[in-house]
Amino acid sequence: MSKEAIKTVVTNKKAFHDYFVEESYEAGIELFGTEVKSIRQGRVNLKDAWCSIVNGEIFVNNMHISPYEHGNIFNRDPLRVKRLLMHKREITRLYGLTKQQGYAIIPLSVYFKKGRVKVQVGLCKGKKLYDKRAVEAKKASEREIERAFKERRF
């Protein structure tokens, strides 16, 4: 198997709607066993998740991992703050950009790579309402063009 086996569990569609993604980084995540089992079942939600940097460490907040049904006493709080594993220079660069230029760090997707859980975090800039409308109008026009081409083909 020459390609790395990547199995995407969940993507944060709301992030792509609300933000312009400037750059993306891959990060490991510090989890407990029952949380990994729950992620394997696809029971994770990134809808309102965001990242913060505290004391040179990066954390993901509001990422909901549902409790594993067979986990009993080993289950953790579903909304607990989870530490991300990134290189120090990447964290300091992200910290500088978020403090100076108004960027936000948003988790974009959760996936398995070589059996390990990875989180793709994006350096994002917020969209204004008119930006969202412009993107919607562009998508609608592209759909309309596709429909017109399909109708002309025989």
Reported as a single tens digit per residue, the pLDDT across 52-74 is: 999 999 999 999 888 888 767 76
Residues with Cβ within 8 Å of 13's Cβ and at least 6 positions away in sequence, in order, are none
Distant-in-sequence, close-in-space partners of 139: CB < 8 Å, separation ≥ 6: none
3-class SS at 126? Answer: strand
pLDDT band at 19 (very low <50, low <70, confident <90, very high): confident
Q: Tabulate helix, strand, coil % of the chain (nearest 5).
A: 35, 35, 30
Domains and CATH numbers, the chain: 6-127 (2.40.280.10)
Once rounded to an integer, what is the mean pLDDT over residues 125-130? 86
Q: Which secondary structure element, helix H or strand E, spans residue 53, and what is its range? A: strand 50-54
Q: How many CB atoms lie within 10 A of CB 3?
A: 5
Q: What is the pLDDT of residue 3?
A: 62
Residue 117 confidence (pLDDT): 92
For residue 37, name the pLDDT band (cuts at 50, 70, 90).
confident
- Give me the pLDDT at residue 32, please: 83
The CA distance from 47 to 91, in Å, is 23
Place of tokens 């709080």: 77
Q: What is this structure's pTM?
A: 0.79
Tokens of 64: 């909901």
pLDDT of residue 154: 53
Question: Would you call 82 helix, strand, or coil by DSSP?
Answer: strand
